[in-house]
């Protein structure tokens, strides 16, 4: 009877602290509450400690939560779950898994504390965050042993874990066994296929999805853009609007790079107007994407206007604008912008230096380019990557320093790629250096043995030197390898739709009309030439 009365009193005291902890929003108040808890000898109350750990979790103070947990002699399942959840929210995945293992080994009153529906979702999230595939499978086996199996939140976490670990086969099996599926189930698996670059499977799954959300559409748009299928990305973006789903911040940021790569200026302008209307264009990531889109579509002045109006410029903003100026031959403006960036104390990154090196290369500022390349390590502690060495080789090659360019390639800390050797080969033709051209061609054949352009370029260099035997040898090589030139490709935007044309392809439904119009234009061009010749003769 006395024990029951004591338990009743403890419960009443615990209930007094519930509203206090529910309204607790900072650590100062929590510590005051904890002092009262200790004073009333309730420091071993799993019920109150679970609530206190949740407050620490909400405040991001995982260290204090750990102190609270570790002073409990016999933590129960609720307290274990609260602590695992707190570690997971704060990305302490390894610690959370260690605690989960401790939970399985813990015995309280001769009974094992079993994981439940509040445990498994967070443990699966930890396995996904660490890409621990085999551990995830073991936890899946424990789920089958302890249950519950058919709970949507657990099954969704399981699918997410398998997709992030690259095991799409098991993820599909989980989906097929589910009695209930929601948008999260489908979107998790869809994201897995997109991350793996399996866009055909992703598209087939996307078409079969019963309820497509904005996440589904955005996943497809970003997936196509990531692998360079920009036309498909914009087609999905347009279809999303047709079915009545309005773009959000993520879908806009995913679609704008596709507009930039395709030169789809009209679509980009529409997105800009939409972002302005919905008060999204002030967001830094959207403004950066708009600057890139305008710069790559040839509207560098519009890009500059957007950049000037930005309040919160990050390193991406500066680097994007700098690259845009460099690509449009505005080298001096790019260098001035870099100097402004230095004055504002914004730390440049590798992309920033790609822009400034490109600007110096195309403007013939050879010495300035070398100075900036050297400053990467000395002043900013940025280790040059292969793209920076490519810019350096291009700069040296264009300036005629071919021996120095070859020496740079041979001393690179990484293996040079085909772009670097191709850049050197191109510079050899400009500056008539057959010896280094032969060395570059020898390496290019290792990377691109079937690229006709390399053989043609070396053949032209032989021709420039009057080495007709070399020209003949290159032509024989092309014939013996049965090499074919890659067909030309062009894009045009009409009524906000980007159309792709490939040389020799007459499969489009309107091809006959196009060829007829071209013949008509050619006929009128010839007639005009005849009229001009007659006029000149008279």
HSE, side-chain direction, 13 A CA sphere, residue 168: 16
- Beta-bridged to residue 493, according to DSSP, are 498
**What's the rounded Cα separation, in Å, for the pair 202 and 194?**
6
| Closest residue by Cα to residue 323 from 309, 334, 307 | 334
Residues 222, 254: contact at Cβ < 8 Å?
Answer: yes
CA distances from 133 to 98, 148, 163 (A): 16, 21, 10
pLDDT at 192: 96
HSE, side-chain direction, 13 A CA sphere, residue 49: 26
**What's the rounded Cα separation, in Å, for the pair 247 and 426?**
44
pLDDT at 486: 52
Q: Which two tokens stand for residue 471?
A: 């020209």
| Closest residue by Cα to residue 344 from 369, 370, 317 | 317
- Is 387 exposed, middle or buried, given 0-12, 13-18 or 19+ CB atoms closer than 10 A? middle
| Closest residue by Cα to residue 206 from 173, 231, 243, 177 | 243
Centroid of chain to Cα 397: 32
Give the start-to-end residue ranges of the domains of the chain. Answer: 214-296
**What's the rounded Cα separation, in Å, for the pair 75 and 47?**
10
Residues 225, 262: contact at Cβ < 8 Å?
Answer: no
* Torsion (CA) 509, 512, 516, 517 in degrees, nearest 10: 10
Residues 292, 320: contact at Cβ < 8 Å?
Answer: yes
pLDDT at 198: 95
| CB-CB neighbours of 449 under 10 Å | 12
Q: What is the pLDDT along the chain (538 residues), one digit of tens a residue?
A: 444 456 667 777 888 888 899 889 899 999 999 999 999 889 899 999 999 999 999 999 999 999 999 999 999 999 999 999 999 999 999 999 999 999 988 865 556 788 999 999 999 999 999 999 999 999 999 999 888 878 999 999 999 999 999 999 999 999 999 999 999 999 999 999 999 999 999 999 999 998 899 999 999 999 999 999 999 999 999 999 999 999 999 999 999 999 999 999 999 999 999 999 999 988 999 999 999 999 999 999 999 999 999 988 999 999 999 999 999 989 999 999 999 999 999 999 999 999 999 999 988 888 999 999 999 999 999 999 999 999 999 999 999 999 999 999 999 999 999 899 889 988 988 888 888 888 888 787 777 666 676 777 777 777 777 777 776 776 776 666 555 555 555 656 555 555 666 655 666 666 667 767 767 776 655 554 554 444 445 4
The H or E element that residue 412 is part of is none
pLDDT at 14: 81
Q: Which two tokens stand for residue 202?
A: 């992703």
Q: Which residues contact 236 (CB under 8 A, 6 or more apart)?
A: 217, 220, 221, 224
Q: Please compute Rg for the chain using Cα positions.
A: 32
pLDDT at 495: 56
pTM of the model: 0.77
**What's the rounded Cα separation, in Å, for the pair 504 and 488?**
9
pLDDT at 480: 65
pLDDT at 531: 41
Site of tokens 């930890």: 126
């Amino acid at each position: 009877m006395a024990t029951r009365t004591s338990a009743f009193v403890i419960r009443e005291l615990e209930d007094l602290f519930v509203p206090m902890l529910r309204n607790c929003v900072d650590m100062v108040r929590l510590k005051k509450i904890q002092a009262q808890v200790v004073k009333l000898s309730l420091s071993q109350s799993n019920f109150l400690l679970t609530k206190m750990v949740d407050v620490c979790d909400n405040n991001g103070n995982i260290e204090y939560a750990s102190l609270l947990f570790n002073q409990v002699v016999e933590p129960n399942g609720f307290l274990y779950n609260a602590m695992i959840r707190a570690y997971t929210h704060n990305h302490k995945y390894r610690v959370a898994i260690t605690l989960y293992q401790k939970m399985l080994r813990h015995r309280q009153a001769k009974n094992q504390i079993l994981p439940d529906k509040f445990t498994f979702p967070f443990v699966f999230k930890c396995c996904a965050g660490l890409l621990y595939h085999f551990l995830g499978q073991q936890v899946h086996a424990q789920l089958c042993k302890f249950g519950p199996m058919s709970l949507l939140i657990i099954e969704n976490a399981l699918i997410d874990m398998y997709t992030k670990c690259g095991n799409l086969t098991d993820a599909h099996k989980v989906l097929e066994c589910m009695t209930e599926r929601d948008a999260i189930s489908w979107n998790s698996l869809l994201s897995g296929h997109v991350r793996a670059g399996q866009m055909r499977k992703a598209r087939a799954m996307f078409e079969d999805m019963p309820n497509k959300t904005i996440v589904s559409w955005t996943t497809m748009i970003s997936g196509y853009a990531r692998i360079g299928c920009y036309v498909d990305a914009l087609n999905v973006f347009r279809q999303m609007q047709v079915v009545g789903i309005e773009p959000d911040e993520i879908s806009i940021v995913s679609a704008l790079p596709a507009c930039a790569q395709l030169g789809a200026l009209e679509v980009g302008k529409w997105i800009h107007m939409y972002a302005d209307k919905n008060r999204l264009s002030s967001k830094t990531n959207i403004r950066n994407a708009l600057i890139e889109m305008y710069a790559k579509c040839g509207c560098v002045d519009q890009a500059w206007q957007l950049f000037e109006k930005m309040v919160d410029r990050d390193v991406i903003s500066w680097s994007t604008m700098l690259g845009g100026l460099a690509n449009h031959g505005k080298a001096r403006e790019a260098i001035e912008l870099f100097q402004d960036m230095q004055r504002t104390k914004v730390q440049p990154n590798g992309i920033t230096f790609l822009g400034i090196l490109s600007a110096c290369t195309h403007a013939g500022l050879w010495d300035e380019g070398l100075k900036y390349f050297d400053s990467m390590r000395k002043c900013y502690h940025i280790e040059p990557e292969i793209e920076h060495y490519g810019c350096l080789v291009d700069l040296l090659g264009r300036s005629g320093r071919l021996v120095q360019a070859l020496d740079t390639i041979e001393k690179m800390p990484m293996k040079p790629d085909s772009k670097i050797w191709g850049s050197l080969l191109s510079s050899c033709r400009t500056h008539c250096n057959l010896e280094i051209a032969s060395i570059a061609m020898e390496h290019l054949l290792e990377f691109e043995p079937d690229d006709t352009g390399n053989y043609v370029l070396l053949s032209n260099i032989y021709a420039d030197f009057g080495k007709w035997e070399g020209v003949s040898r290159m032509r024989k090589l092309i014939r013996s390898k049965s090499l074919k030139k890659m067909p030309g490709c062009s894009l045009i935007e009409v009524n906000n739709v980007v159309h792709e044309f490939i040389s020799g392809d007459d499969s489009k439904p309107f091809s006959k009309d196009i060829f007829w119009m071209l013949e008509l234009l050619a006929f009128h061009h010839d007639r005009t030439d005849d009229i001009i010749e007659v006029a000149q003769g008279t």
